Structure 1
Amino acid sequence: MAVEVEIVPARGKHCRSIARRMRAADVAEVWRSGRLGPVAALRRSMDNSTAFTVLIDGRPEIMYGVGDLNVLAGIGGVWLLGTDAITRNWRWFLRATAEGLPGLFTRHEVLRNVVDRDNAASIRWLGWLGAAFLGDIDIHGHPFVLFELRRRRDV
C-alpha cells in the first residue's frame, strides 16, 4: 500500500502528536538519557537543532534533526524520534534514511550521538547506515553506545 510522505520543517504542534504515539524504545531512551518525557525530549531536540517532521498520510510520525556539538571541529549531533509508523513502513524508512543521510551534512563532517544499548533495532539500523560504534557510555546508570556517521566523499 502506497503512503503519501511529506517532509516539513518541525513545528511545536508536531511534538505532542508524535509524543502520544512514540515508539516504546524511543520513550525509554529519552528517559534514560535525559530524564525527559516524550514531549519535552522532542521540544528540546527541535529547539536545539535544524529539525524536520515526516508526515505520513498527513500525520506527524517522525521528527529528526542535526544540531551543533562542536562547530570548530565540524561535529554535529544527529537525532531521530518517531512512532510505530517506522516499523509499519520499514522499507520506505530504510530507503529514505539512506537517501536522505547525505543531506544532513550541510554544516558538519561528522554526526554523533548515543543510542540505548537495549535498542537493538536502532543499533542495527545505524550500522546499516554505516555508523561507526565508538564505545559504551554510562548515562544515569544505563549503558549507551556512542556512534558517529561521517560525510562520505566521492573519490
Structure 2
Amino acid sequence: MSPLAAEICIVTARPGHIRAIAERMRAADRAEIFAASGRSPLSALSFSYRHSSHVWTALFDGRPEVMWGVGDLNILTGIGAPWLLGTDAVDKNVHGFLRISRHWPSQLLGRYRLLRNLVDARNTISIRWLEWLGFRLSDPVEINGHPFHLFEMGDADV
C-alpha cells in the first residue's frame, strides 16, 4: 500500500455515519439525488438507510466516506435496488475503492435474483464503475426532466 492510500474498513452502517457523509457528498451524487428525488444529501441518505435491508459504510482512515446498501423492490421475486453515495474520498482512493467493491454484486446476488436501479446519465464516473462491475445499462430515459440509465445485473426474467 502506498503511503498516500487510505486504510479502508467496511462496517455495518450506523445512523451516525449519515451526516458525516452527507455534509461532504460528491457533487455528482448530490446532483443525481436532486434530479431523481429533489432530496438533500442528508434526506436521501437517511431515507435509503431506513428503507434498505442491508447497509454498509466504508471508513477511509477511520472516517465514514461511502455508504451503500440494497432495498427490497420485490421480496417475492427477489429484486433488490442497490445504491451507493459517497464523498470525494472515493475519487482520491480509486484503486482501494475498486478493490473493496469488486465483489459486492456477487455478494448481493446471493440474496437477490436481480439487482436494478437508476443512475444519472451525467454521472459518468458512476456509470464507468457500474459497467466495470458488470451491470447492464439501458438507453437513457427521462425522469424529472433529466436523463437516467436503468442498470441491472442478474436474472432479467424475474
TM-score in terms of structure 1 length: 0.92
Q: Give the 3-state SS of the residue equivalent to 1:135 in structure 2.
A: coil
CA distance in 1 between counterparts of 2:9 and 2:98 reads: 16
2:150 to 125, 146, 152: 146
Kindly provide the CA deviation profile for residues 126-153 of structure 1, in whole angstroms up to 9, marking residues without a partner as x. 11111101332221111100011227xx
Q: Please name the residue that 1:36 is paired with.
A: 39
Report SS of the residue matched to 2:117.
strand
Provide the C-alpha distance between the structure 1 equivalents of 2:93 and 2:20, rounded to a whole number of angstroms: 18
Unaligned runs of 5+ residues in structure 1 are none
Alignment partner of 1:133 out of 130, 137, 140: 137
- Matched to 2:140, the amino acid is D
Residue type of the alignment partner of 2:13: A
Deviates more, 1:3-12 or 1:14-23: 3-12
Instruction: Give the C-alpha shift of residue 8 in structure 1.
Output: 1.3
2:25 to 17, 22, 36: 22
What does residue 75 of structure 1 align with? 79
Q: How many pairs are equivalent?
A: 151
Counterpart Cα distance in 2 of 1:7 and 1:124: 22
RMSD, matched Cα: 1.3
Alignment counterpart, residue 121 of structure 2, candidates 106, 117, 120: 117
Letter in 2 for 1:117: A
The residue identity in structure 1 corresponding to 2:26 is: R
> Could you give the per-residue CA deviations for residues 7-64 of structure 1, whole angstroms, max 9, x where no partner exists?
1111111111001110000000001001100000001001111111111111000000
Give aligned-pair identity as a percent.
50
1:93 pairs, out of 85, 90, 97, with: 97
Query: In structure 2, how many angstroms separate the alpha carbons of the residues matched to 1:109 and 1:88?
Result: 33
What do the CA deviations read for 1:99-120 (whole angstroms, capped 9, x no partner)?
A: 3332222421111110001011
> Normalising to structure 2: TM-score of the pair?
0.90
TM alignment of 1:4-15, pairs within 5 A: 4-15=7-18
Which residue identity lines up with residue 76 of structure 2 in the other structure?
Answer: L
Deviations 1:86-107 (A, max 9, x none): 1111011112111333222242
For 2:100 and 2:75, how far apart are their aligned partners in 1? 27
